[in-house]
Structure 1
Amino acid sequence: MQIGKARTATTEICIAVADAVEVRGRDLCGDLMGRLSFTAYFYLLLTGREPTEDQRYFLDLLLVAIAEHGMMPTVQAARMTLASDPNALQGALAAGVLGCGPVILGTSELCGALLLKARARVTEGGDADEVVLELAREIREAGGKAPGFGHPVHRPLDPRAERILELADQRGVSGPHVDLARRMREAVAQVWGKQLVLNVSMPIAAVLLDLDFPPAFLKAIPLLARTGGLLAHLAEEQQNPIGFVLAGHAEAAVSYGANNRT
């Protein structure tokens, strides 16, 4: 049964033949291998273009910034899965990646959408400070949380966020989206009545947008980064198994209440 409209299936990413592989119109073995870093190759895969030096630099920077953040729930899920089946490395990795959502991995995608909305209103003639204040009020009045603000560990500042902004300034890539992110910090403090931590997600989105990264990057980069961190934990789990220790502590920490027994 045909679902949707009939169309010709095409791809512009890759074709493999008996003696060659072509990626985005380039010879993998004769051109890309040995010339591009994986970071630059990832950019090429997603966009069809090779990155500028600033794009490559900040893509590297952001991948390093968020690849690892300790024994997060996603890491625990991955390690316990590998403990249950030591041969299922791919399954354990998948278990960790499946939990990489906005609560655990950050809200870069939501931050990007907010910054793009703010930028559109400013472009239409709005005052930047008034625009971000209005958006912050809209979020608060709707009962939402400001994406890119707050952190359970890093207080009063998220050192990763501050370092990204510092380097963006140093390298001269801070543009309108970084400016709006900074203004949003003050707007959120005013609307919420207290200074909330600007976490790493907002600078990630702001810098990527100022460097003309496609919006798809805003979620793809955290996923790629955290995959590297998960693989490191799984490699350690193979040498130093703690998955069942984590599971045991989790079970011991939860009390059982049979309130519905008859």
Structure 2
Amino acid sequence: MQIGKKGRAVTSISTADADRIEVRGRDLTSDLMGRLGFTEYFFLLTTGREPTETQRFFLDLLLVSIAEHGLVPTNQVARMTYAADPDFLQGAVAAGLLGCGKVILGTTEIAGAFLKDARARIDAEGITVADIVTEYRDAKRRLPGFGHPLHKPVDPRAQRILELAVEKGAAGPFVGLARETEAAVNEIWPKPLPMNVSFAIPAVLLDLDFPASVLKAIPILARTASLLAHLAEESHTPIGFTLAHHAEQGIAFERTEE
């Protein structure tokens, strides 16, 4: 018995035989290798199209913007995993990536869904983004892509992304909606709530015709590079066990009553 929805058993990404590897209809060795950079290649792999120069520029920019943010939990768990088994690099990377959830790094996809849904509702219902923000406030719902424990009153990464989108002529309806949402939040929300990088990223990508279904891949791909950097450092400047020791020291043991 087949579980799940039936579909055509096909792939359009790549195929290979003894003397040729084809990727998205292009010959890997004679066409792509030496011509495309990795950012362009990632765009081709995920969309089936080669990016325009503007799409390449902003995909590069966004990957750089979110790759690294210090000793965040994803990097800590990777380093502690590596310390436990230095021969298991891929496992340490995987441990870090498993921490890319809704709280850490995973808001890009949810913020993109918010932008798409907000735009559809504004067009269909004749409401404003301020009405939608008010709904979230009244329902005490978390507004995806807003708020940051460190970056206050603004997230400099988000501001730089949107400024460059305007400067490079890449700003479209979703960047405009992001700015409208930011203004509405500043006016309506009961406490300061800065737009963070995970709201700016989907705004630009959606304006550049990047598939919404792949938005979450951007922070994951970017953070993979960061994890590899931390693990390279861990191999010669180990702090994994120090992190584990401080975690143990920082948590008090409390015996529960039976």
Q: TM-score interval w.r.t. the shorter chain?
A: over 0.9
Equivalent in the alignment of 1:9: 9
| SS class of match (2:217) | helix
- 1:207, CA displacement in angstroms? 0.5
Choose from 179, 190, 194 the match for 1:193: 190
Is 2:206 the partner of 1:209?
yes
User: Residue 26 of structure 1 contacts residue 32 of structure 1 at CA under 8 Å; is this kept in 2?
Assistant: yes
Equivalent in the alignment of 1:241: 238
1:15-52 residue CA offsets vs partner (Å, 9 max, x unmatched) = 11111110011000010000000000000000111011
Equivalent in the alignment of 2:112: 112
- 1:5, CA displacement in angstroms? 6.0
CA change 1:156–1:5 in 2 (3 A) is closer
- 1:7, CA displacement in angstroms? 5.2
Distance 2:6 2:208 in 1: 37
Distance 2:89 2:228 in 1: 9
User: Residue 40 of structure 1 contacts residue 51 of structure 1 at CA under 8 Å; is this kept in 2?
Assistant: yes
Query: Please, what is the CA RMSD of the aligned residues?
Result: 1.4
1:43-97 residue CA offsets vs partner (Å, 9 max, x unmatched) = 0000111011111000000000000000001100000000001100000000000
Distance 1:147 1:116 in 2: 13
Equivalent in the alignment of 2:70: 70
Equivalent in the alignment of 1:35: 35
User: Residue 77 of structure 1 contacts residue 95 of structure 1 at CA under 8 Å; is this kept in 2?
Assistant: yes
Matches within 5 A, 1:118-137: 118-124=118-124, 126=126, 130-137=127-134
Give the paired residue count.
258
User: Residue 74 of structure 2 contacts residue 100 of structure 2 at CA under 8 Å; is this kept in 1?
Assistant: yes
Distance 1:54 1:177 in 2: 16
Q: Structure 1 residues 198-207 or 89-98, which shifts more?
A: 198-207
- 1:148, CA displacement in angstroms? 1.1
With structure 2 as the length reference, what TM-score do the two structures score?
A: 0.96
Equivalent in the alignment of 1:178: 175
Equivalent in the alignment of 1:56: 56
- 1:259, CA displacement in angstroms? 2.5
Is 2:231 the partner of 1:231?
no
User: Identical aligned pairs, as a percentage?
Assistant: 62
User: Residue 13 of structure 1 contacts residue 24 of structure 1 at CA under 8 Å; is this kept in 2?
Assistant: yes
With structure 1 as the length reference, what TM-score do the two structures score?
A: 0.94
Equivalent in the alignment of 2:87: 87
Distance 1:83 1:155 in 2: 34
CA change 1:65–1:5 in 2 (3 A) is closer
**Gapped runs of 5+ residues in structure 2?**
none
Distance 1:136 1:114 in 2: 11
Equivalent in the alignment of 1:160: 157
User: Residue 146 of structure 1 contacts residue 188 of structure 1 at CA under 8 Å; is this kept in 2?
Assistant: no
Equivalent in the alignment of 1:142: 139
Give the aligned residue type for 2:210: F
Is 2:247 the partner of 1:250?
yes
Distance 2:215 2:64 in 1: 15
1:77-118 residue CA offsets vs partner (Å, 9 max, x unmatched) = 000000001100000000000001121114111111111112
